Amino acid sequence: MRTTVAVDEEALTAIMATEDPLDVCSKWSLVRGQLEPLVWQEIDRILTELADAAAQSEDSPPGDAATETLVED
């Protein structure tokens, strides 16, 4: 998966001066540190949603209109 992130350079420079005054880390590591948890949080939400949907389909009785698909020839 690839994505693009636009980051305000002045804001990033100010944050880097506070969080990494010795300039040891790259700017990308700071951005990644902020974004990565959000990405994993969204992945966890999607997985939970899929698991809930699967559990609901298992709980539906056979022939339930919500889960049965009619295929016509």
Ordered DSSP codes for 9-50: HHHHHHHHHHH-TT--S-HHHHHHHHHHHHHHHHHHHHHHHH
Predicted pLDDT at 34: 79
The residue type at 45: R
Separation of alpha carbons 1 and 23, rounded Å: 29
Local confidence pLDDT in tens for the 73 residues of the chain: 677 778 888 988 888 888 888 989 888 888 888 788 888 999 999 999 999 999 988 877 665 555 555 555 5
pLDDT of residue 52: 94
Q: State residue 9's pLDDT score.
A: 87
Nearest to 67 by CA among 42, 59, 8: 59
Per-domain boundaries in the chain: 24-57
